[in-house]
Structures are given as structure tokens and as C-alpha cells.
Structure 1
Amino acid sequence: MASNRPAPEAPFVPSQRSSSDTFGYGSYRSEEGPWEEWNPTEESLAPARGKHRVAKQRGGGGFARSSTVLGVGVIAAFSAGGMASANTGKPPVSISMPDLPSVGSLISDDDSGQDAAPALSGFGAEASTATDRSGAAADAGEALRERIMAQAESQQTQVADRAQAAAEAAAAKAEAAAVAKAEKDAKAEAAAAKEKAEQAAKEKAEAARLAELAKQYTLPTSSYTLTATFGQAGAYWSSGYHTGLDFAAPTGTLIKAVHSGTITEAGWAGSYGYRTILTLDDGTELWFCHQSSINVSAGQKVGTGDVIGRVGATGNVTGAHLHLEVHPDGAANGIDPMAWLHSKGLNP
């Protein structure tokens, strides 16, 4: 590629000027000849085109841009010098160019391609910068995507952790409730077992007590049949209900003292027939009624099992039997003889 083309020469036209109007250094030179005024135009000063033009630099291409500006400045100086010579007629001014590698490379005619390096270097730097920017944008986008993904993963992890913590808390609560229920059931079972054991112990103690009492108490007769119980209603009894317990047995069957005590009455008692009253040490009165005969008298001490009379059918009766009544503390109204005998370990 060629360097800058030289400015066009002014046309040579002979002139009749005197030696005093000659252009030069005070003397007329035939080779310089008479000159006509030359005004450069846009066509005559067309911008130089060629390899010395450098692409606009960005960023770090400051040196190449400066070299280009300097080269353009030198060319403008040459053109201005020519115009000044043509217009003013003053002697030409010698202009020296500094020895700058960048300027030399810009105006050199060498086609080796080395002078294209500064221009291409700027273009390469711009392309590299664009590539770097594109890469940086891609890196920024990738970094943003990774950060968003990391945030999403972190949130998912937090949700999973909270769900796991809630599940563990629910499991722990359920386990605690199960343990509490098991403990409660165990305590209830232990209490029930304890109560059952206590009840069994009480029953055993009561059985032992009754067994001991049974040695002290006895049924009033033997070979009998229970024909009427306490509280039974009927027209046979003046009070409207039965006030004792009837042991039906053949006339003459022995009647025994249920427990040790004192005979407080023995004789006829109207509708009760022949009656014997045995008063125990605790004040309980036992009435033995409808006897056929009495074997004891008032004030007499008797022991358990002593014969106090015989079964009969005296008084208001329908047949031979022993009518037994129990009056705690000598009360007028008696209690159920069956229950009282049970309390003494006896089972009629």
C-alpha cells in the first residue's frame, strides 16, 4: 500500500515580472520560474487513504491514537506551508519531522505489513475489550444464576429442615404422650393391683376374724329349714311383716345359746309363746321364741352352745319352728338376723 501522495504542483506559467517580484531568496531562479497563485480545494486536498489510517481506539489505545494525530498534523503542516508560500510569497519554511517510529510507520511505503500493527493492535484491543465485556457479562449472568440457584437450594434446605424438625417434634410429642399414657396405665394397673391386694388382705383378715368368731358363735339349732326371712310381708304377722328368722324343725329339737352371755328373760310372751332372751356382753339381745320348753332362768350365765330350750309351736304359729330376733342394745325394733349371723362368721 502506498504512503500519502504528494500535493499537486501548481501549473507553471511564464510571467513578465521583474526580478524584484521573483519568488525565492532574493534572486530569481530559472528553475523556480514564475508561479501562479494556487488555492487548494477539497478535491485537490482529498483525505489521504491507505494503511496509515488507524481505527479509533478505545481504552488502552492511547499511544496509537496519538501517533495518528501527530502524522495527520505533520501532513497538515506541509499543506499549510505550501499554501502560505503560494499566498504570501514568503520564502518557504524548513520543517523537520521528529524521528518517531509510529509516524514513520504511518507514512512509510513499505508493504511488509509491519506498519499495520499499530492500527490492528487498536482494533484487536477493541475486539478483545468487547470479548472481555461479553465474557464478563456472561460471567456476571452465570454468577447471578448460581447465586439464585444457591438461594433456592438454601430455601429448599431450610424448608426441608423445618419440615424435618416439625416431624421430629411431632414424633417426640407422640412418643412423650405414649410414654405418659404408658406410665399412667402402669400407675393405674399398679394402683388396681395394690387395691386388689389390699382387698384380698382385708378379706383374708376378715375371714380369719370370722373363723375366730365362729369358734365363739354357733347356730341356734340343727336339722332345720329356713321358712321365713326378715321383712317378709304377710297377714300372719300383726306388724304386717316378719320381724325375725324362722328355723323350722321337729318339736323338741335342742335350742343352743349362740354366744356366751346372760339370760335376762325366760317365760311366756303372748304371741311369741315361750320366749328366752339372751343378752350378750355388747348389749345385743337375742330372742328365742315359740319354744316348747325352757331350760334356763333369768340371770343365768351361759356359754356358746349351751342348751337353753327346745323347738315348739307355742304362741301365734302354724307349725313347730324357732323364731329368732336380734335387737342391738335392747332396741324395740330388731335387725335382720341373717346379716347379723353372717357378721359373726355363721352361714345359716
Structure 2
Amino acid sequence: MASNRPAPEAPFVPAQRESETFGYGAYRAEEGPWEEWNPTEDSIRPVRGRHRVSKQRGGGLARSSTVLGVGVIAAVGAGGMASANTGKPPVSISLPDLPSVDSVGHLFDDDSSNAPKATTASLSNVGVTSADSAKGADAGEALRNRIMAQAEQQQSKAETKAAAAAAAAAEKAAADAAAKAQKEAEAKAAAAKEKAEAEAKRKAEEARLAELAKQYALPTSSYTITSTFGQAGSMWSSGYHTGLDFAAPTGTLIKAIHSGTITEAGWAGSYGYRTILTLDDGTELWFCHQSSISVSVGQKVTTGEVIGRVGATGNVTGPHLHLEVHPNGQSTGIDPMAWLRGKGLTP
């Protein structure tokens, strides 16, 4: 059986391109569309002339731009072939952030001296300063150096801060210790001063009492204290003892405690025979239960002068001298023991 004859091929008609599909501004015949190309030994030999790619400049980004430009041209050519074979209009391609056509065109120019230099830097040099470039460091090394420098700076700051804190703590501790020592020293000084003042006061009081003791004297000798002031008991009409009792044998001498004036001398009921000596400050001294009186009213006496004798007259249980002290002539007396001690005397 005879085979069918193949249909005649349609005559080749170049496809019409839009003038702005790539950005060159007008259609160029050398851009295609082209017929289907079957490479042969002769056709794959190195191409010389206008289509020889110029030497790459500008580092990695320029090298990428070159490859991208060639790829774009190949894609455009392929689009033209597809348009020729399919009859469909070519698809326009827009590439953002690419070099201008003039910058790409120099890739196909034999004269590389007129080609503009790429303005983009190599990606491997991003972040590298001029000082780093002078040292020959790449971006990674520069970044490492910066990180190390920042780490050292932060560590130095931390050490400085810690040292400042330690110094402040030491200074505060020293200040606290100094303040504590100062307080202790002040307390010791105050205690020593107080002790010295107390000692001086004691000595002054002793000197005063010693001087007073020269002016005052105990009312009798060879005695025994039998009853004290304020002692409670039913034998006293007031319910308590109002004076100080010096028990001594009958006839023992009674002396004037201090110089003054005799304001009373005679019988006084339960007090028996009593003599009252009024001192210059108005204090009255009562000498009671005497067996005899040796002075009279209005008489001036001096310290240690005899004014009577111990007896057992009045309300008594035995011979003794009952002594009372009435400041300013008051009816109520005070403790004769304390008053005598205030005058430097110790009963």
C-alpha cells in the first residue's frame, strides 16, 4: 500500500513582536525569532566577535548579573521561538532591581574599556569596612571580630561595674566600721567622763560632808540604835516611831549637834524632859527623855556643847535619847538618820 504524502509545510513567517517586551525600545532582527537549531560540530565551535562575553567585573554580583543577562536573552529567544511555533504572542518579562540595558549590553561588546563598571559590591564583602578591607578580612571575619570586640567590651564593662560595686561595698564597710568605732569611742569617752564627773562629785560631796562634820557632831557617845524612824508599834501614840533612839546609860552626856539657839527647855508630857535647839536655817532638833537639862531658853550654844543628860523620863521602857528633826519648825518630823548622814555623820 502506498503511504500518504506528507502535507507541505507552511512557509516560515517571522512572528511580529511588541516593541516593549524586553525594554530595548524597538524590535531588532538579530534578537529572533529563530528557526529551530540543531547543533553540529561546526556550530558549537567557540564564537568569536560581537557575542563573545567580556571579562567579568565587579565581583560576585557582577558575575551573577552576567549570567542573569545571558539567561534573560536566552529566555527572550526561547519566547520568540515559541511565538513562531505556536503563533501565540510572547510574554513580556519584567525584572526588578536589574542593571540597565546599557549596563547589560557591555557584556556583548568587544571593547571592554567603554563598558560601565558595576556599581554593586560583592555579597561576600557586605558589612566589611574600609579598615577591614585594608586588612584583607571578609564579611565573616569582620563580623566575628566585631562580636569578639563587643563581647570583650561588655566583659570589661561588667568587670568595671563589679569592681566599682566591690569598691563601694568596701568603702561602705569601712565607713560603717569607722562610724561604729567612733560611736564606741564616744560612748567610752562619755562613760569615762560620766565616771570622772561622778568621782569628782563624790569627792566634792565627801569634802563638803567632811567640812560639815567639823560643824556637826553626834548627840551622844557609847550608844546603841534601838528604834528607827517610821517603825510601827502600839507603844507610840501616833502608831509609829517619830524619831531615832540612842540607848545609853542614864547620865550619859547629850551634846548640841550644831550651833544654834535654845528655844525650849522643860517638861513635855510623854517626851519627859525635852530641850529644843533651833538652828540658823530654822530646823528644830528635839532632845527628849532627859534626866536633866543644862541650858535655858534663849541661850546660844555651839557644836559639841553639853545641853543635858540621858534619862528615862516620860513614856519609855528604858534610858535612851529620843531625837527628832523638824525642818522649819514643822509639826511632822523627818528621818533623823538621813538628816545626820546628810551632815557627814554616821550614827
**1:239 Cα offset (Å):** 0.4
Query: Is the CA contact (8 Å cut-off) linking 2:265 and 2:273 kept in structure 1?
Result: yes
Question: What do residues 280-335 of structure 1 show as CA deviations (whole Å, max 9, x unaligned)?
Answer: 11111000000111111111111111111111111111111100000011000000
Question: What do residues 15-58 of structure 1 show as CA deviations (whole Å, max 9, x unaligned)?
Answer: xxxxxxxxxxxxxxxxxxxxxxxxxx978992363697977631
Q: In 1, Cα distance between the equivalents of 2:299 and 2:245?
A: 25
AA of the residue aligned to 1:179:
A
Q: In 2, Cα distance between the equivalents of 1:43 and 1:263?
A: 165
| Aligned partner of 1:46 among 35, 42, 46 | 42
**TM-score, normalised via structure 1 length:** 0.64
Change in 2 beyond 3 A, CA 1:141/1:275: same
Match of 2:138, SS state, is: helix
Q: Please say which of residues 41-50 and 273-282 is displaced more in the overlay.
A: 41-50
Match of 2:286, SS state, is: strand
AA of the residue aligned to 1:49:
R
Aligned to 2:223: 224
Change in 2 beyond 3 A, CA 1:306/1:42: closer
Aligned to 1:146: 145
**1:167 Cα offset (Å):** 1.6
Aligned to 1:256: 255
**1:274 Cα offset (Å):** 0.5
Aligned to 2:339: 340
Give aligned-pair identity as a percent.
Answer: 73
**1:158 Cα offset (Å):** 1.0
**1:139 Cα offset (Å):** 2.1
Change in 2 beyond 3 A, CA 1:60/1:180: closer
| Aligned partner of 2:55 among 57, 63, 71 | 57
Question: What do residues 218-238 of structure 1 show as CA deviations (whole Å, max 9, x unaligned)?
Answer: 000000000011111111110
**1:161 Cα offset (Å):** 1.2
Q: In 2, Cα distance between the equivalents of 1:148 and 1:156?
A: 12
**1:183 Cα offset (Å):** 1.2
**1:133 Cα offset (Å):** 6.9
Number of residues paired by the alignment?
Answer: 243
Match of 1:262, SS state, is: strand
1:157 aligns with 2:180: no
AA of the residue aligned to 1:219:
L
Aligned to 1:205: 204
Q: In 2, Cα distance between the equivalents of 1:44 and 1:327?
A: 156
Q: In 2, Cα distance between the equivalents of 1:133 and 1:338?
A: 111
Match of 1:247, SS state, is: strand
- Structure showing greater radius of gyration is 1
Q: In 2, Cα distance between the equivalents of 1:274 and 1:183?
A: 68
Report the aligned-residue RMSD. 3.1
Consecutive unaligned residues in structure 1, runs of 5 or more: 1-40, 62-128
Aligned to 1:186: 185
Q: Please say which of residues 285-294 and 43-52 is displaced more in the overlay.
A: 43-52
Change in 2 beyond 3 A, CA 1:286/1:46: same
